A and B are shown apart, each in its own frame.
Chain A
């Protein structure tokens, strides 16, 4: 594991740095979708949130490390190695179901979250119904009497047009947390 396959650094891929190229109306629809998703999470409507996932979704969050400057390209663990999330639809479904057992003590009593979504940029793909969408998030959480923390990062999504209330499904999501060592007690939400 010390020598992971080198993958282009997630933040520096040319296709992600390229100027956004979706039409204004599409950009608006994509942004509204991400805001709606955030609202469902903050409202504890996790089953509705799960319904926004495509059946073939891959929800993945790699671990990051402090590396020497010359090894900076290796600061994120590649797919198939260290990750905080590495989920398919069924696995996400288990996590959602857990929150409704009333015995998931990290969320029972429930924490209060606010998913703030910003810096949304979107690109077209070869498939006219699919868009690559990047967005930043700040998840602010309070729990118990006086616990509070923030988890901040960026998401790289593949959104697919879908026949549902919100118009899209999440076909693929990579979550990159802006922390190497996580300075929070757990990751009990979705990001």
Chain B
């Protein structure tokens, strides 16, 4: 199905059909999820030999397993015999995986190690045929991503300039991150409604989350007013400034100048105390650079150390799998403050998250309508304002924290993948597109004289 008529990134117009149509959804599983790098696990989720967790690439369940030699392997959690789920636990430790249908037994690496009555009933076992379908893996600073696609670029190249921004979330501290909590829940909405938000939408916060800001703001017991440090944090919201970044492969991030407002005093004090360490590690310019982000298609994060995937479950349903993380070397007090802050904000009972759910539910519900899918939705904030490598920021950015450059980038890349063109061709298209945009920006900055050959612009 040609979906190009629904997406016009240059004009910032996107029709709701892409959130509603079952045929488009099925095409996403093949063209988007099966051809992208998807988040599967963090090293701290599977520290010891035999530790495993199950995750998904799209609708395909994947077992991610720590091997005896300390490496990680991942394979489709589907028995090669009749397609039964090999392992039915979400997490655990084991020496092997036995399918409970006919008893085929798989090693930690997905190789078949035992088939009942094998000698009597099979001529030969070709490991190429019998092994569980393997996932191509990459480990970026403890974050494990997987893809089925052999032609997509290596993970770091796939991230491109976004790696520099990603580090501002996950590589701030010696020792890296560890998991301190997890939540999984189901929402009646398309996965992209969630994904585009951490990619590109700081704008919704002041209205969607107004109630949470109001009640979580600490107030002094003496006069009932917020103490000065709180007023300083909230000041970021009253005069919003910052940047948004958009990557050719659909990743996006945005952040406030001065950093995300913090409402928990323990976390705020700790955060400020890390300025020197983080600045030494990443450069001072990246201390405040974390806000919201998405690695296309569906690995999202916020500066408060919540990380999530939205697994697609049909055009009108997603599963949100969210992990709370904390710097491994932070004090127990700080880690617990981070854990509590996330569960009270961005979990299904969280005071921010509850309200996001309603937005996405209603958006989805309305897309059932005919007229609701005719006029395109408007993704035009800061359109035509992109610059490259400006203000010390690698790649394409716009100079406002409220923008939709990253959403346009996300849906441009989505449309590229959905075209079905192979990765090598897409890479050429993206390079040419970027060059054209860079040339146009350069031409605007120093217009050619009208008398020049070709009449200038």
Is B359 close to A, CB under 8 A?
Answer: yes
> A1 and B349: CB pair below 8 A?
no
> A186 and B47: CB pair below 8 A?
no
Partner of A81, one of B88, B180, B319, B361: B180
The interface residues of chain B lying within 8 Å CB-to-CB of A81 are 180-181, 339
The interface residues of chain B lying within 8 Å CB-to-CB of A103 are 207, 210-211, 214
The interface residues of chain A lying within 8 Å CB-to-CB of B208 are 105
Is A91 close to B, CB under 8 A?
Answer: yes
The interface residues of chain B lying within 8 Å CB-to-CB of A184 are 185-186, 348
Task: List B residues 397-447 near A (Cβ within 8 Å).
Answer: none
Partner of B358, one of A2, A63, A87, A106: A106
> B361 and A147: CB pair below 8 A?
yes
What are the interface flags for A1-41 relative to B under an 8 Å C-beta threshold, 1 for contact and 0 otherwise? Answer: 11000000000000000000000000000000000000000
Is A187 close to B, CB under 8 A?
Answer: yes
- Secondary structure dominating the interface of A: loop
The interface residues of chain B lying within 8 Å CB-to-CB of A67 are 89-92
9 nearest A-B pairs in the assembled complex, by CB-CB distance: A187-B349, A106-B354, A182-B185, A104-B211, A101-B211, A82-B181, A181-B184, A186-B354, A103-B211
Chain A interface residue count, CB cutoff 8 Å, equals 41
> Can you name 10 extra interface pairs (CB under 8 A) apart from A83-B343, A181-B186?
A2-B51, A2-B91, A66-B88, A68-B89, A80-B336, A84-B348, A105-B208, A106-B355, A183-B185, A186-B185
> B215 and A84: CB pair below 8 A?
no
Is B303 close to A, CB under 8 A?
Answer: no
> B90 and A65: CB pair below 8 A?
yes
Task: List A residues 54-94 near B (Cβ within 8 Å).
Answer: 61, 63, 65-68, 71, 74, 77, 80-87, 91, 94
Residue in A85, A180, A181 with the greatest tally of chain B CB atoms within 10 Å? A181
With A1-B44, A68-B94, A104-B354 as given contacts, are A85 and B349 in contact (CB-CB < 8 Å)?
Answer: yes
With A2-B48, A80-B336, A184-B186 as given contacts, are A95 and B357 in contact (CB-CB < 8 Å)?
Answer: no
With A103-B210, A106-B357, A184-B348 as given contacts, are A71 and B185 in contact (CB-CB < 8 Å)?
Answer: no
Q: Which residue of B lies closest to A82 (CB)?
A: B181
Task: List B residues 357-376 near A (Cβ within 8 Å).
Answer: 357-359, 361-362, 365
Cα A61 to Cα B90 in complex, Å, equals 19
Q: Which residue of A lies closest to B46 (CB)?
A: A2
Partner of B351, one of A65, A86, A98, A182: A98
Is A47 close to B, CB under 8 A?
Answer: no
> B216 and A71: CB pair below 8 A?
no
> B47 and A101: CB pair below 8 A?
no
> A185 and B188: CB pair below 8 A?
yes
> A186 and B348: CB pair below 8 A?
yes
* Chain A residues in the interface with B (C-beta under 8 A): 1-2, 61, 63, 65-68, 71, 74, 77, 80-87, 91, 94-95, 97-98, 101, 103-107, 144, 147, 180-188
Tell me how far the C-beta of A55 lies from the nearest C-beta in chain B, rounded to whole angstroms. Answer: 15
The interface residues of chain A lying within 8 Å CB-to-CB of B365 are 144
The interface residues of chain A lying within 8 Å CB-to-CB of B336 are 80
Is B266 close to A, CB under 8 A?
Answer: no
The interface residues of chain A lying within 8 Å CB-to-CB of B347 are 84
The interface residues of chain B lying within 8 Å CB-to-CB of A101 are 210-211, 214-215
Q: Which residue of B lies closest to A84 (CB)?
A: B349
The interface residues of chain B lying within 8 Å CB-to-CB of A185 are 185-188, 348, 357-358, 361
> A1 and B180: CB pair below 8 A?
yes
With A63-B183, A144-B362 as given contacts, are A181 and B210 in contact (CB-CB < 8 Å)?
Answer: no
Tell me how far the C-beta of B214 lies from the nearest C-beta in chain A, rounded to whole angstroms. Answer: 5
Cα A180 to Cα B361 in complex, Å, equals 21
Tell me how far the C-beta of B225 lies from the nearest C-beta in chain A, rounded to whole angstroms. Answer: 16
Cα A2 to Cα B319 in complex, Å, equals 22
What are the interface flags for B80-114 relative to A under an 8 Å C-beta threshold, 1 for contact and 0 otherwise? Answer: 00000000111111100000000000000000000
Is B144 close to A, CB under 8 A?
Answer: no
With A184-B185, A186-B349 as given contacts, are A94 and B361 in contact (CB-CB < 8 Å)?
Answer: no
The interface residues of chain B lying within 8 Å CB-to-CB of A107 are 354
With A71-B92, A185-B361 as given contacts, are A82 and B214 in contact (CB-CB < 8 Å)?
Answer: no
Partner of B186, one of A77, A94, A182: A182
> B182 and A82: CB pair below 8 A?
yes
Cα A43 to Cα B47 in complex, Å, equals 48
Tell me how far the C-beta of A23 lies from the nearest C-beta in chain B, rounded to whole angstroms. Answer: 36
Cα A186 to Cα B365 in complex, Å, equals 17
Q: Which residue of A lies closest to B187 (CB)?
A: A185
Partner of A86, one of B51, B179, B340: B340
What are the interface flags for B340-353 relative to A under an 8 Å C-beta threshold, 1 for contact and 0 otherwise? Answer: 10011001110101
> B90 and A186: CB pair below 8 A?
no
Q: Which residue of A lies closest to B89 (CB)?
A: A68
A-B contact pairs, 19 of them (CB 8 A): A2-B93, A63-B182, A65-B89, A66-B89, A67-B91, A77-B181, A82-B182, A82-B183, A84-B347, A91-B344, A94-B216, A104-B351, A105-B211, A107-B354, A181-B186, A185-B187, A185-B357, A186-B353, A187-B354
Tell me how far the C-beta of A141 lies from the nearest C-beta in chain B, rounded to whole angstroms. Answer: 12
> A71 and B89: CB pair below 8 A?
yes
The interface residues of chain A lying within 8 Å CB-to-CB of B383 are none
Cα A165 to Cα B19 in complex, Å, equals 51
> A180 and B343: CB pair below 8 A?
no
Is B29 close to A, CB under 8 A?
Answer: no
Tell me how far the C-beta of A156 lies from the nearest C-beta in chain B, rounded to whole angstroms. Answer: 18
